Amino acid sequence: MIREMVCIVCPIGCHMTIDDSDGIKVSGNKCPRGEIYAKEELTAPKRIITSTIKVKGGIHKVVPVKTDGGIPKELNFECMKIISELEVEAPVKMGDIVVENILGSGVNLVITRDM
Protein backbone atom coordinates (compact mmCIF):
# COMPACT_ATOMS: atom_id res chain seq x y z
CA MET A 1 0.00 0.00 0.00
CA ILE A 2 1.30 3.47 -0.87
CA ARG A 3 0.64 6.31 1.58
CA GLU A 4 1.34 10.03 1.57
CA MET A 5 2.62 11.76 4.70
CA VAL A 6 4.00 15.16 5.68
CA CYS A 7 6.98 14.99 8.02
CA ILE A 8 6.57 17.09 11.19
CA VAL A 9 10.07 16.59 12.62
CA CYS A 10 11.32 19.99 11.41
CA PRO A 11 9.83 23.12 9.77
CA ILE A 12 10.61 21.97 6.20
CA GLY A 13 7.56 19.65 6.16
CA CYS A 14 8.74 17.19 3.55
CA HIS A 15 5.99 15.49 1.54
CA MET A 16 6.86 11.83 1.71
CA THR A 17 5.59 8.72 -0.03
CA ILE A 18 5.66 5.51 1.95
CA ASP A 19 5.40 2.13 0.24
CA ASP A 20 4.84 -0.68 2.74
CA SER A 21 3.98 -3.44 0.26
CA ASP A 22 7.45 -5.04 0.59
CA GLY A 23 9.00 -3.64 3.76
CA ILE A 24 8.76 0.09 4.43
CA LYS A 25 10.33 2.30 1.74
CA VAL A 26 10.24 6.06 2.22
CA SER A 27 10.89 8.68 -0.45
CA GLY A 28 10.59 12.46 -0.55
CA ASN A 29 12.35 13.08 2.75
CA LYS A 30 15.24 15.55 2.67
CA CYS A 31 16.99 14.11 5.74
CA PRO A 32 17.26 10.77 7.58
CA ARG A 33 14.93 11.99 10.35
CA GLY A 34 12.00 11.91 7.92
CA GLU A 35 12.49 8.23 7.20
CA ILE A 36 12.70 7.45 10.94
CA TYR A 37 9.55 9.49 11.59
CA ALA A 38 7.59 7.80 8.78
CA LYS A 39 8.53 4.29 9.90
CA GLU A 40 7.68 5.06 13.52
CA GLU A 41 4.39 6.71 12.56
CA LEU A 42 3.31 3.59 10.65
CA THR A 43 4.46 1.01 13.20
CA ALA A 44 4.30 2.64 16.67
CA PRO A 45 3.19 6.30 16.64
CA LYS A 46 4.24 8.45 19.58
CA ARG A 47 3.29 11.93 20.72
CA ILE A 48 4.76 14.52 23.08
CA ILE A 49 2.07 15.69 25.50
CA THR A 50 1.91 19.36 26.54
CA SER A 51 -0.51 20.63 29.17
CA THR A 52 -0.74 22.49 32.48
CA ILE A 53 -1.07 21.34 36.07
CA LYS A 54 -2.30 23.12 39.19
CA VAL A 55 0.28 24.90 41.33
CA LYS A 56 -0.13 26.03 44.95
CA GLY A 57 1.59 29.23 46.06
CA GLY A 58 2.65 30.36 42.59
CA ILE A 59 2.02 33.66 40.85
CA HIS A 60 -0.36 31.78 38.54
CA LYS A 61 -2.80 28.97 39.25
CA VAL A 62 -1.24 26.58 36.74
CA VAL A 63 2.23 25.77 35.44
CA PRO A 64 3.02 24.30 32.00
CA VAL A 65 4.31 20.72 31.69
CA LYS A 66 5.29 18.37 28.88
CA THR A 67 6.61 14.89 28.41
CA ASP A 68 10.36 14.86 27.76
CA GLY A 69 9.84 12.43 24.89
CA GLY A 70 7.07 10.80 22.89
CA ILE A 71 4.69 8.36 24.52
CA PRO A 72 2.70 5.73 22.61
CA LYS A 73 -0.29 7.43 21.01
CA GLU A 74 -2.74 4.99 22.60
CA LEU A 75 -1.71 6.26 26.07
CA ASN A 76 -2.54 9.94 25.36
CA PHE A 77 -5.96 10.01 27.04
CA GLU A 78 -4.78 8.04 30.07
CA CYS A 79 -1.80 10.40 30.38
CA MET A 80 -4.08 13.45 30.23
CA LYS A 81 -6.27 11.94 32.97
CA ILE A 82 -3.21 11.63 35.23
CA ILE A 83 -2.10 15.19 34.37
CA SER A 84 -5.55 16.60 35.19
CA GLU A 85 -5.28 15.22 38.74
CA LEU A 86 -1.79 16.57 39.50
CA GLU A 87 -0.89 19.53 41.70
CA VAL A 88 2.55 20.82 42.73
CA GLU A 89 3.66 23.37 45.28
CA ALA A 90 5.73 26.42 44.32
CA PRO A 91 8.58 27.01 43.88
CA VAL A 92 9.22 24.77 40.88
CA LYS A 93 11.97 25.03 38.29
CA MET A 94 11.92 24.34 34.57
CA GLY A 95 13.03 20.74 34.08
CA ASP A 96 11.76 19.50 37.46
CA ILE A 97 10.31 16.01 37.04
CA VAL A 98 6.66 15.80 38.17
CA VAL A 99 6.08 12.14 37.20
CA GLU A 100 8.91 9.74 36.39
CA ASN A 101 8.33 7.05 33.77
CA ILE A 102 4.71 8.05 33.20
CA LEU A 103 2.55 5.01 32.43
CA GLY A 104 5.67 2.85 32.16
CA SER A 105 6.64 4.64 28.94
CA GLY A 106 10.20 5.49 29.99
CA VAL A 107 9.27 9.17 29.56
CA ASN A 108 9.07 11.79 32.32
CA LEU A 109 6.55 14.60 32.79
CA VAL A 110 8.53 17.81 33.42
CA ILE A 111 7.84 21.43 34.36
CA THR A 112 8.51 23.86 31.49
CA ARG A 113 8.55 27.18 33.40
CA ASP A 114 10.04 28.44 36.64
CA MET A 115 7.42 29.47 39.18
Q: Could you tell me the residue ranges of all domains in the chain?
A: 2-43, 50-111
Q: What residues have CB less than 8 Å from 39, skipping those under 6 apart?
A: 24, 26
pLDDT attached to residue 21: 87
Regions of the chain with pLDDT less than 50: none
pLDDT attached to residue 106: 97
CATH topology of domain 50-111: CPE0013-like fold (3.10.530)
Measured between alpha carbons, how far is 1 from 9 in angstroms, rounded to an integer?
A: 23
pTM of the model: 0.82
Measured between alpha carbons, how far is 30 from 71 in angstroms, rounded to an integer?
A: 25
